[in-house]
Amino acid sequence: MTDLFSKFDALIAQREGLLATGVKDPFSLVMEEVKSPTVAVVNGKETILLGTYNYMGMTFDDDVIAAGKQALDEFGAGTTGSRVLNGTFQGHKECEDALKEFYGMDHAMVFSTGYQANLGIISTIAGKGDYIILDIDSHASIYDGCKMGDAEIVAFRHNDVEALEKRLKRLPSDAGKLVVLEGVYSMLGDVAPLKEMIRVSKEAGAMILVDEAHSMGFIGENGRGVAEEQGVLDDVDFVIGTFSKSVGTVGGFCVSNHPKFEIMRLVCRPYVFTASLPPSVVACSAASIRKLMHNGNKRAHLWENSKNLHQGLRDLGFQLGTPNAQSAIIAVIMPDLEKGAAMWAALLENGLYVNLARPPATPAGMTLLRCSLCAEHTSDQVADILDRFERAGKAVGII
Amino acid sequence: MTDRSEMFDRLKGLIEPFNKKGTEVGEATTFAGDLEWDSLTVMDFVADVEDSFDIIISMNLQAEIENVGQLVDAVTKLTAA
């Protein structure tokens, strides 16, 4: 018998080798208590959270929690059904209404996760004979959406407008084309030149999908994302987003002005063939989305945090993924996986949690310590974070 | 036959800058196995081939190309179209 698991042997060996050096397993951390959007208890120790996607700190918002409790009481624990059968409750419609208002768009469709939103929309709208043109550093959910569909997939170099334009020009002019972009790329926290990319895509007659998962609530005047910030949201055909970041719950969505968009509810398999979100989750999400519309001060504080952390880490001598703070994500580049894991463990011992990110999730084979800031981090916490980075960095010998 | 060997030579020329180990390149040379290219190298190489022939090698097609001979066939077909 061939052991189907033998294909994972190299990864198993790499993991065992890493653990044998004495570091704690970075991928099996447990949060024993969560005290606030920025503090949790890990291994019995109070720890500052700098590796969540809780950008706007909505997870403990009083109004969000109250909405969820009320929905739990009034609508029960779950829906036990698909959105197209018995799984659409009042709360799902209210959540979609909140999204339409948030983005100023005609249609909104809520999925059970952000992953499923990309999987569903991409695999459904681009079919056989169509082309999907995507950035090589696209998120796994985008690649999986491509793999699930029947379109031809064309990749271009990360954030390279010229490479995108050249490829678009080589495609048959009458073929259906979907250009898939992200506002903020989550590994390095860098922002896409959407304005130029959308211009060349429109000139080639392509439709455009932008994943704004890591920019919603934070970037753009109304928190609609990078496309809003660059003044091109009206040219985007489909915006994909998630509730598991700034919104602070779980779920995904697509908003669009396409006049035929509602047909997606019948043909999009990751929407149809799965259970809908629980009533409490959609109620929390709707309350959170409505609050995110009017959060100018929190957005300003988050930018301040991001800029301060970026500057501080650079001054300490760390190598960063972007030359300046472009989003709420600051990626610290590690020399290799061993050093990265040691640094990660040293930070945790100093009471600071960050994400350890490694290939294949990262571009260019990099090992990253990914820091994501929250609007609820105080200026004192940011100073504290820098202090812990300095101590850990010196202990591990990175700075 | 001349056309094919011309195509082979041209592609071999594009392979060379990425052939860090100086592996002998023939029709049967595989990209992942013999040349030991990772996905990043593949991406850069594909972009070079696309730009120098003004073609698109979709990821669907890339998945079917394992060795140099198959690449010669694929590019020949794409440039004839």
> Which tens digit of pLDDT belongs to each residue from A260-298?
999 999 999 999 999 999 999 999 999 999 999 999 899
> Region A189-212: what's the mean pLDDT?
98
The pLDDT mean for chain A works out to 96
> Which tens digit of pLDDT belongs to each residue from A144-174?
999 999 999 999 999 999 999 999 999 999 9
Q: What is the DSSP string of A188-206?
A: TTEEP-HHHHHHHHHHTT-
**Interface check A172 vs B, CB under 8 A:** no
Q: What is the pLDDT of residue B2?
A: 64
pLDDT: which is higher, A343 or A23: A343
Tell me which of 3.40.640.10, 2.60.410.10, 3.40.50.300, 1.10.260.40 is the CATH number of domain A61-292. Answer: 3.40.640.10
Q: What is the DSSP string of A273-336?
A: SSBPPPHHHHHHHHHHHHHHTT-HHHHHHHHHHHHHHHHHHHHHT--BSSSS--SSEEEEEESS
Q: How far does B64 lie from chain A, in Å, by closest CA? A: 13
Q: Name the amino acid, one letter, at A227.
A: A
State the DSSP H helix or E strand holding residue A352, giving kind and residue range, or none if neither.
strand A352-353
> Which tens digit of pLDDT belongs to each residue from A183-200?
999 999 999 999 999 999
| Residues of chain B neighbouring A167 (CB-CB closer than 8 A) | 50, 56
Q: Are B14 and B52 a contacting pair, CB within 8 Å?
A: yes
Q: Is the pLDDT of residue B38 over 60?
A: yes
Substitution target from A136, A147, A358 for chain B, most B beta carbons within 10 A? A136
Q: Are A111 and A253 a contacting pair, CB within 8 Å?
A: yes
Q: Is the pLDDT of residue B81 over 80?
A: no
| Residues of chain B neighbouring A362 (CB-CB closer than 8 A) | none
Residue A327 CA to residue A138 CA, distance in Å, equals 17
Q: Are A165 and B51 a contacting pair, CB within 8 Å?
A: no
Q: How many CA atoms lie within 13 A of A256 on its CB side?
A: 22
Q: Is the pLDDT of residue A132 over 80?
A: yes
Residue A273 CA to residue A260 CA, distance in Å, equals 21
Q: How far does A339 lie from chain B, in Å, by closest CA? A: 22
DSSP character at residue B18: G
Residue A229 CA to residue A231 CA, distance in Å, equals 6
Q: Is the pLDDT of residue A18 over 90?
A: no
DSSP character at residue A363: G
Residue A284 CA to residue A236 CA, distance in Å, equals 27
**Interface check A365 vs B, CB under 8 A:** yes
For residue B40, the chain A residue with the least C-alpha distance is A364
Q: Is the pLDDT of residue A382 over 70?
A: yes
> Which tens digit of pLDDT belongs to each residue from A85-127?
999 999 999 999 999 999 999 999 999 999 999 999 999 999 9
Within 10 angstroms of residue A161's Cβ, the number of other Cβ atoms is 19
pLDDT band with cut points at 50, 70 and 90 for residue A177 = very high
Report how far Cα A169 is from the mean position of its chain's Cα atoms.
30
Strands A31-36 vs A190-191: parallel, antiparallel or unpaired: unpaired
Q: Which of B40, B54, B60 sits opposite A365 (nearest CB)?
A: B40
> What 3-state class would DSSP assign to A185?
strand
| Residues of chain B neighbouring A155 (CB-CB closer than 8 A) | 43, 59
Residue A376 CA to residue A285 CA, distance in Å, equals 18
Q: Name the amino acid, one letter, at A93.
A: K
Q: Is the pLDDT of residue A360 over 90?
A: no
Q: Which of A154, A166, A364 sits opposite B51 (nearest CB)?
A: A166
pLDDT band with cut points at 50, 70 and 90 for residue A239 = very high
Q: What is the pLDDT of residue A293?
A: 94
Q: How far does B9 lie from chain A, in Å, by closest CA? A: 24
DSSP character at residue A5: G
| Residues of chain A neighbouring B58 (CB-CB closer than 8 A) | 131, 152-154
Residue A141 CA to residue A148 CA, distance in Å, equals 10
Residue A49, both tokens? 């959270």
Residue A257, both tokens? 């002005």
Q: What is the pLDDT of residue B40?
A: 84
> Which tens digit of pLDDT belongs to each residue from B11-33?
999 999 999 999 999 999 999 99
Q: What percent of chain A has pLDDT over 70?
A: 100
Return the CATH number of the domain spanning residue range A18-56+296-396.
3.90.1150.10
> What domains does chain B contain, in order, with CATH numbers?
2-80 (1.10.1200.10)
ipTM: 0.91
Q: Range(s) for CATH 3.90.1150.10 in chain A?
A: 18-56+296-396
Substitution target from A132, A134, A158, A167 for chain B, most B beta carbons within 10 A? A167
User: Residue B27 contacts by C-beta under 8 Å, 6 or more apart in sequence?
Assistant: B8, B67, B68, B69, B72
pLDDT band with cut points at 50, 70 and 90 for residue A58 = very high
CB contact under 8 A, B50 and A167: yes
CB contact under 8 A, A360 and B39: yes
Q: Is the pLDDT of residue A219 over 70?
A: yes
| Residues of chain A neighbouring B50 (CB-CB closer than 8 A) | 166-167, 170
Q: How far does B49 lie from chain A, in Å, by closest CA? A: 12
Q: What is the DSSP string of B44-60?
A: HHHHHHHHHHT----HH
Q: Are A298 and A375 a contacting pair, CB within 8 Å?
A: yes
| Residues of chain B neighbouring A152 (CB-CB closer than 8 A) | 58, 60
User: Residue A315 contacts by C-beta under 8 Å, 6 or more apart in sequence?
Assistant: none
Q: Is the pLDDT of residue A53 over 70?
A: yes
Q: Range(s) for CATH 3.40.640.10 in chain A?
A: 61-292
The pLDDT mean for chain B works out to 93
Q: What percent of chain B has pLDDT over 70?
A: 96
User: Residue A122 contacts by C-beta under 8 Å, 6 or more apart in sequence?
Assistant: A132, A142, A145, A146, A148, A149, A178, A180, A209
pLDDT: which is higher, B1 or A138: A138
Phi, psi of A334 (to 5 degrees): -95, 150
Q: What is the DSSP string of A47-88?
A: EEE-BSS-TT-GGG-HHHHHHHHHHHHHH-S---SBTTTT--
